[in-house]
Chains A and B, each alone.
Chain A
Amino acid sequence: MEIGPILRALSRNKLGVILISLQIAFTMTVMVNAVFIINERSKLMARPSGLDEPNTFYLSSTGFGDQFNSQVTERDDLELLRNTPGVIDATPTNAIPISGSGSSDGLRIENDPTLPATPAAVYFTDEHSVNTMNLTLIAGENFSASDMTYQSSNERRYYRKAIVTLALAEKLFPEEGLAAVGKSFYRDQAPVQIVGIVERLQAPWPNSFFVEQAMLVPLNFTDATSTYLIRTEPGQRDRLMVEIEETLAGNNPDRIIRGLKSLQETREESYRLDSSMATILLVVIVTLVFITSMGIVGLAVFGINRRRKQIGTRRALGATQLQILRYFMLENFFVSGVGVSIGAVLTIAFSIALSSLFEMPTMDWYYTPIGMLLLIAIGQIAVLGPSARAAQIQPAIATRSI
């Protein structure tokens, strides 16, 4: 092996080594951290909301004028929706999961406002919500129609029963598990009883720290605006979105129908920033790898051209083509080795900076070694072409133009 000569040759071309190894180091820093960010974002985006997203949509009805009666309208609308063929169920709600807009409350297990409260998203809805949202009731029971209360959204809110998510139940009553059913918590200094626990239902805010803490409450607002969440049989959603909007808009001149949207569109919009970030980062990674590869090729070609005569001499003295190829591959391996070592330090430093500045999770340990291997592989691939051409140099060149 020609490790000795390679190292001695490299030590004469320090600048070349520095240039390439720094490029590799920066490329690795950006690539590894970017891949980590992309992975984190896709993990966030992959969390299920608990709903039957592909088959669910929603719309709002807002009444105006003196003749408009919101309670009658809502009752008629819901009856119509639930009896529409293809609709599995429909429910009124104040907020849509993942949409980014909703209502929250602070809950306590003791009636003492000075104690810290557990935050939870509140869905003001009715007894059809569990079925419409396709939630799995794992303990307790659903509301009944007689649990429903109706009031204006500006009034002091009054409710005595709630169906909570398992995450919320565990937060309020650690170690009780499903036995939290039947227990009460306090909100606004009044007790609320947990009548049921659902496996999962996300809060409307995907970036919230309490995104898994949500509850359903049998309360409905009598305001002029009602929002209906509608679940359809598979494959019926797009047809029903059009038909239901037309029917509702046509059957009452004193209101308008707005905000028709599927849950899939809502998810796509809510995570738009995350998906944009992922795309931009991907473009950055590809660009960087391309530029660094070009840099490696460029400097390798330059180095080989300067040493054509030496290569010819070595070949004349009996070195095989494979040995020449090996020489340049090994040379690149050493330079890359320096690069990824600096890169490992930079990568970890940058990731620590990111997690401390932007409250991001810390990077898993395996990202750095995988990044190192990957960049060495990229370097070897980039230098393969120029090395192969170097191996083609004729031994006869050694005898020319002396």
Chain B
Amino acid sequence: MFLYYLRLSALSYRRNPILSSLMVMAVAIGVGAYMVIFTLNFVMGGDPIPQKSDQLFHVQLDSGNPNTQDDPPKQLTYLDATALIQANSAYRETATSKISGILEPEGDGIRPFSIVGRGAFADFFPMFNTPFLYGDGWDQSADRDLQQVAVLTKELNERLFGGADSTGETVRLHGNNFQIVGVLDDWAPVPKFYDINNGAFDGSEEIFIPWNLIIPLDFPRNGNTNCWKTPEAGPDGFLNSECVWIQYWVELRSGDDEAEYLQFLNNYAAQQKEFGRFPREMNNALFNVEEWLMKEEVLPNETKILSALAAMLLAVCLLNTIGLLLSKFLGKSGEIGVRQALGAHKGSLFLQHVIEAGFIGLLGGILGLAIAAAGLEGVKVLLGDNLMITDWIHLNPTVVAITLVLAVLATIFAGFYPIWRACSINPAIHLKTQ
């Protein structure tokens, strides 16, 4: 029966090709445009690490300025980050921050170039589920013993070693040799949850080294540094200052651990208060990945505004479809009258037209996918290369499925009233004029 109705739908389409094509186009444009914006929202507002986003927590210690009443700083001071690392109170934890440096490739083939890297602890890699192409992250002993080891990204390995397994090789960065222990596979979480300070949609850094080396090897910091109080003079002035520049993440395994860790942070802050630091009221915070991204509002206002506008565009297209379906189904009154007179059930007539509307919706959805794909390509071109990573801007399977379902359901929904009108015709009137 279903197939029979489907065939009827196709016949009906061919009988009235212009009207039917207009409907398909209206559905396609509405759904296509909506899905472009939906994809942006879906990925940019999505969960970058769904396997464990509720176990990873961003740490905030309120070492802020007593004369202002804003949120606690988003990053930690050197004093606090090193103290937390030493306390070693979480299942896994890492202090991390961006660095920059000149990388001097061996031989004369490639000129030295400037590079942005990241200092991290051994836990960084297992915590954030970073995929490895070759080798692995470094051991905790490397953190303790200040071993000069490094993990490269796939791109950097491509550039320096032509993509070969480079573990065991050395690379010269900021005037020091580092032994390569691992090469990452493609890894660019969207949003870049572990450091949203300089653009939540940036790509990842190109080289990772033990964070403990940043100070002894005098690496230039790259990223945000905020000081509410000027550092004291002298070489250690900056390290002992209230300047924040370090991100801190912990992995905790249960809700109890979370409360316990927050208590640990509060105890630490209370202890610091005794030394005259932490002049504000106690306001330390732990946010898991999704809470943190939500709180920091990483989703740009632009995409939020666009989704409201796209929803209205979809509404206009559906209103249009209602009108067109009305014309089409009322135009079929004669046929419906005959079928009714021959004993067709109202229910089966209704079903037939629901399937016809769904058929049109499906065609609209398929065409809508093409429009959405083209639209996303257009957005990618508009955004260009340097603003953010745009590799993720394409149709993904979830979006494809949602598009088709949305198109079919929306068209059937739009069809309810026209179908009801068409099916509640008195057959006698239409039989008379035959």
Interface residues of B, dominant DSSP: helix
Say yes or no: A20-B111 contact (C-beta < 8 A), given A33-B309, A291-B316, A350-B308: no
Contact of A319 with B by CB under 8 A? no
Within 8 A of B (CB), among A129-158: 154-157
Contact of B161 with A by CB under 8 A? no
Contact B102 A29 (CB under 8 A): no
Say yes or no: A294-B320 contact (C-beta < 8 A), given A156-B231, A272-B387, A302-B327: yes
Contact of A27 with B by CB under 8 A? yes
| Residue from B232, B305, B417 having most chain A Cβ neighbours under 10 A | B305
Within 8 A of B (CB), among A186-243: 188, 223-225
List the 7 closest pairs (A to B, CB-CB), nearest first.
A276-B382, A64-B102, A295-B320, A188-B230, A302-B327, A358-B301, A19-B323
Contact of B81 with A by CB under 8 A? no
Contact A15 B111 (CB under 8 A): no
Within 8 A of A (CB), among B287-322: 300-302, 304-306, 308-310, 312-313, 315-317, 319-320, 322
Q: How large is the interface on B (under 10, 10 to 19, 20 to 34, 35 or more residues)?
A: 35 or more
Contact of A276 among B26, B308, B309, B383 (CB under 8 A): B383
- Chain B nearest Cβ from A395, distance in angstroms: 23
- Chain A nearest Cβ from B189, distance in angstroms: 21
Contact A20 B323 (CB under 8 A): yes
Contacts of B379 in A (CB 8 A): 276, 280
Q: 1/0 per position for A69-87, CB-CB distance to B under 8 A?
A: 0000000000000000000
Q: 1/0 per position for B94-115, CB-CB distance to A under 8 A?
A: 0000000010100000011110
CA distance A388 to B382 in the complex (A): 42
CA distance A306 to B304 in the complex (A): 43
- Chain B nearest Cβ from A357, distance in angstroms: 8
Contact of A109 with B by CB under 8 A? no
Contact B111 A30 (CB under 8 A): no
Q: How large is the interface on A (under 10, 10 to 19, 20 to 34, 35 or more residues)?
A: 35 or more
CA distance A155 to B243 in the complex (A): 12
Contact B29 A287 (CB under 8 A): yes
Contact A284 B313 (CB under 8 A): yes
Contacts of B3 in A (CB 8 A): none
Contact B26 A358 (CB under 8 A): no
Contact of B367 with A by CB under 8 A? no
Contact of B33 with A by CB under 8 A? yes
Contact of A5 with B by CB under 8 A? no
CA distance A223 to B387 in the complex (A): 27
Residue of B at shortest CB range from A34? B309
Within 8 A of A (CB), among B1-51: 19, 22, 26, 29-30, 33
Contact of B384 with A by CB under 8 A? yes
Within 8 A of A (CB), among B70-129: 102, 104, 111-114
What is A's interface to B at a CB cutoff of 8 Å?
A: 15-16, 19-20, 22-23, 26-27, 29-30, 33-34, 37, 62, 64-66, 113-116, 154-157, 188, 223-225, 256, 258, 269, 272-273, 275-277, 279-281, 283-284, 287-288, 291-292, 294-295, 298-299, 302, 350, 354, 357-358
Contact A26 B316 (CB under 8 A): yes
Contact of B326 with A by CB under 8 A? yes
Contact of A64 among B26, B112, B324 (CB under 8 A): B112
Contact B29 A272 (CB under 8 A): no
Contact B319 A273 (CB under 8 A): no
- Chain A nearest Cβ from B331, distance in angstroms: 9
Contacts of B113 in A (CB 8 A): 256, 258
Given contacts A33-B309, A272-B382, 12 further A-B contacts (CB under 8 A): A15-B326, A19-B320, A19-B326, A22-B315, A62-B114, A64-B112, A115-B67, A272-B387, A277-B306, A291-B29, A294-B320, A350-B308
CA distance A37 to B288 in the complex (A): 34
Contacts of A269 in B (CB 8 A): 384, 386-387
- Chain A nearest Cβ from B393, distance in angstroms: 12
CA distance A269 to B385 in the complex (A): 10
- Chain A nearest Cβ from B69, distance in angstroms: 11
CA distance A30 to B314 in the complex (A): 11
- Chain B nearest Cβ from A185, distance in angstroms: 15
Say yes or no: A114-B320 contact (C-beta < 8 A), given A269-B384, A298-B327: no
Contact of B320 among A23, A34, A281, A357 (CB under 8 A): A23
Say yes or no: A64-B174 contact (C-beta < 8 A), given A225-B220, A256-B112, A287-B29: yes
Contacts of B237 in A (CB 8 A): 155-156
CA distance A26 to B308 in the complex (A): 11
Contact of B238 with A by CB under 8 A? yes
CA distance A354 to B301 in the complex (A): 10
Contact of B323 among A27, A275, A277, A298 (CB under 8 A): A298
Q: 1/0 per position for B181-198, CB-CB distance to A under 8 A?
A: 000000000000000000
Contact of B168 with A by CB under 8 A? no
Contacts of A275 in B (CB 8 A): 382
CA distance A42 to B124 in the complex (A): 43
Q: 1/0 per position for B337-356, CB-CB distance to A under 8 A?
A: 00000000000000000000
Within 8 A of A (CB), among B204-246: 220, 230-233, 237-238
CA distance A23 to B320 in the complex (A): 7
Contact of A294 among B22, B33, B231, B313 (CB under 8 A): B22
Could you list some 21 contacts between A and B, CB below 8 A? A23-B316, A30-B309, A64-B112, A154-B238, A156-B230, A156-B232, A156-B237, A224-B220, A272-B387, A273-B302, A276-B382, A276-B383, A277-B306, A287-B33, A288-B316, A292-B320, A295-B323, A299-B327, A302-B327, A354-B305, A357-B304
- Chain A nearest Cβ from B333, distance in angstroms: 12
Contact of B175 with A by CB under 8 A? yes
Contacts of A113 in B (CB 8 A): 67
CA distance A30 to B33 in the complex (A): 14
Say yes or no: A156-B233 contact (C-beta < 8 A), given A291-B317, A298-B323: yes
Contact A114 B310 (CB under 8 A): no
| Residue from A30, A116, A275 having most chain B Cβ neighbours under 10 A | A30
Contacts of A62 in B (CB 8 A): 102, 114
Contact A30 B313 (CB under 8 A): yes
CA distance A350 to B383 in the complex (A): 26
Contacts of A350 in B (CB 8 A): 308
Contact B310 A284 (CB under 8 A): yes
CA distance A5 to B306 in the complex (A): 42
Contact A27 B302 (CB under 8 A): no
Say yes or no: A64-B175 contact (C-beta < 8 A), given A19-B322, A279-B382: yes
Contact B114 A299 (CB under 8 A): no
CA distance A87 to B14 in the complex (A): 70
CA distance A277 to B40 in the complex (A): 13
Contacts of B320 in A (CB 8 A): 19, 23, 291-292, 294-295, 298
CA distance A19 to B319 in the complex (A): 6
Contacts of B112 in A (CB 8 A): 64, 256
